[in-house]
Amino acid sequence: MRFSVFFKILVFIVLISNSFAFSEQLVYKSGDSIDGKLVELFENYIVFDTSLGRIFAIIDQVKFVIFNSSIQPEEGFASLSGKKIKGYVTDIKGNYIIVTTNFGKMKFVRTNDIDYLSFEKVEFQSLPVFDGLNIDLSLSNMYTVFLSSGDVFTGQKLSSDDKYIIISDNQGNEIYIEKVFVENLYIPISNANGYELLILKNGRRLYGKVTKVDENDLEVSGEWGKLKVKLSEVVFTTYKPGYEKLQTSSEVIYDKDGVASMVVKTPLKVNNKEVKVIKVYPQEIVDPRTGVTFVFIPGGTFKMGADTSWGKVEEDELPARNVYISGFYISKYPITVKQYLDFLRAGKSSNVLSGKNITPVTIDFLGSKFTVGYTANKSSYDFPITNINWISAKAYCDWAGYKLPTEAQWEKAARGTDGRIYPWGNGKATKFNDGKKEYSVKAFEDVDVSPYGVVNMFGYPIEYCMDYYSKDAYKNLPNENPINTSGTLVVGRVGAIANRITDRVPVSPSEARSDFTFRVVVEADSIFSVINKPMDNKLMGVTWFVVNDKVKSTYGVKADGLYVAYVEEGSPAQIAGLKVGDVITSIDQKSIKNPDDVTKIVANKKINDEITVTVNRAGQMVNIKLKLGVWKF
């Protein structure tokens, strides 16, 4: 640093001990910088401890204070754990750093989570004002706030005052969001005891504690505050005392299979369009069979394709157009090593790739080697599965009843409806999976998250889509639920390569790629039928060999039947208690001499049916109850 500039900016120095290490950096607008430690704001000065002493730098001449030198600071932003927030420091109070934002303010605790802070005041563009927030429930244990700007914030705690909704984390960081900018607020269902639902004529949904103010009004309250609602605006509520004033029947009538009916005297309208059907979808659903967490993406129109105002874009990303997509669920994270391992163990598919981090299990039986199962190190379970091809990803989907996302589904889930360039908005990327090492699928869920809560769609790995690749797809495909079903190459999608979420990557469907993974989708109206349907599983998960003279002499077997050489982990056979060395002599009291005998017995049975397997275990006859096709993942 040049000392002439230093003394020009320095107001005065108080000598201090330099026995501590300086890990922070003060950067002036001139480009000069100095290492030290941020202390406080004092009138118009930033107090900064350095090895030369304590300096009082004029705040108007300071651009940044950098805490994490590995992340490039950006003017007019603060960054916490890689998540950028448009704003600049306006005060320091005790252990808190106050940042003014375009939506309110933030209180950062002085922790290692801070990447950088901007001190240069910037003019904010005004945010859209939302006329009344929606309050809904979530299966997540986090509070989630969606702003009218498209920004999303999550936290473990929620409170409010007259002006702000306040969301905070376990470290004490607090985000103050003006209520007029909040579009949707999701409350953990575990924290919603005593809450009731109201649906208003304008389509708003409100969950909270409901009290009757008078004959015409209700009050809804919660951690988010309270508001008064006129009964004449309510088309549905679970609050029983409110029914008598509604323009509906006295109650919602339960039909069957999760369906209910209500009668309205006046039409329900949303955005001035008459509504005849209201469908209720959970925001998140976990498939109990596979453990895959799904996020709901509502039906509607969105902006698909690149915007030429971004600069150089590829021809195959054009033209940008409005595309309608029916409602669907998409996996919140890419399919993991563990989820794919479960498929390899339980599924009937053959000729699929095992992928990275998964190792085939082989046994030596009578001098020959056989592949009998698969295993993986538990430390890699939460990595996205890679080094597979499109064919293998599709085989996983066929096994579980899922589909690969179409390009249109993938892009809507990634960027929402407002034409943004990144999942989180239009601010440049700071922290995402750069593909240089392996990360858990949850590693970037606070920074690389879409408007709907889908994680890691910008960063690596690239993700397979259902579509075949065509350079002119956007010019030729329809504007409603488009998909290209023919070609020689298929499409992969990621944002990190071209630094935009609209990039398209052609690849051979048979090529194994170490930088590719996949996520899955289910049509919204099919989600419950899919997750309740048995999967196409192997019925037993056991490797056996016909007992012959060589088996008897080599392994000391005396009984005739099928010799159990391997039992797959989590299989129906393992759950039932079948062990290596057992000899299967009968099933349902029918003698077993070879695999064909087993096939004939189970031919008319289905998953969940129970059979009785009789084994000779070291001379003892043991009966085992086995549920066909029921695996424990």
Q: Rounded distance, CA 127 to CA 102, Å?
A: 7
Q: Which residue has the higher pLDDT, 242 or 474?
A: 474
402 pLDDT tier (thresholds 50, 70, 90): very high
Tell me the three state secondary structure of residue 233: helix
CA atoms within 13 A on the CB side of 544: 25
How would you label 520-546 residue by residue, b for 16+ Cβ within 10 Å and e otherwise? bbbebeebeebbeeebebbbbbbbbbe
- Residue 242 has what pLDDT? 62
Q: What is the dihedral of CA 292, 255, 187, 402, to 10 degrees?
A: 20
pTM above 0.85, yes or no: no
- Residue 121 has what pLDDT? 85
| Per-residue pLDDT tens over the stretch 515-533 | 999 999 999 999 999 999 9
pLDDT > 60? residue 14: no
Q: Which residue has the higher pLDDT, 170 or 61?
A: 61
Domain 542-627, CATH homologous superfamily name and number: PDZ domain (2.30.42.10)
Q: Are 81 and 446 in contact (CB under 8 A)?
A: yes
72 pLDDT tier (thresholds 50, 70, 90): confident
- Residue 21 has what pLDDT? 52
The predicted model gives 140-163 an average pLDDT of 86
Q: Rounded distance, CA 445 to CA 461, Å?
A: 15
DSSP 120: S
- One-letter identity of residue 316: D
Q: Is 436 exposed, middle or buried (0-12, 13-18, 19+ CB in 10 A)?
A: exposed
Closest alpha carbon to 453 in 257, 273, 629, 285: 285
| Per-residue pLDDT tens over the stretch 352-381 | 999 999 999 999 999 899 999 999 999 999
Q: Are 397 and 403 in contact (CB under 8 A)?
A: yes
- Residue 321 has what pLDDT? 95
499: phi then psi, degrees, rounded to nearest 5: 65, 40
- Residue 11 has what pLDDT? 36
- Residue 379 has what pLDDT? 95
The rounded mean pLDDT for the chain is 88
199 pLDDT tier (thresholds 50, 70, 90): confident
- Residue 631 has what pLDDT? 95
Structure tokens at 90: 């306006």
Ramachandran category for residue 161: left, alpha or beta (phi over 0 → left; psi -120 to 50 → alpha): beta
Q: Which residue has the higher pLDDT, 42 or 609?
A: 609
Q: Rounded distance, CA 558 to CA 137, Å?
A: 62
Per-domain residue ranges of the chain: 3-118, 134-275, 286-336+382-529, 542-627
Q: Which residue has the higher pLDDT, 71 or 468?
A: 468
52: phi then psi, degrees, rounded to nearest 5: -90, -15
DSSP 298-359: --EEEEES--GGGS---GGG---EEEEE--EEEESSPPBHHHHHHHHHHB---S----TTEE
Architecture of domain 286-336+382-529: Alpha-Beta Complex (3.90)
Q: Rounded distance, CA 7 to CA 542, Å?
A: 79
CA atoms within 13 A on the CB side of 207: 17
| Per-residue pLDDT tens over the stretch 99-110 | 999 899 998 887
42 pLDDT tier (thresholds 50, 70, 90): confident
Highest mean pLDDT among 94-103, 152-161, 332-341: 332-341
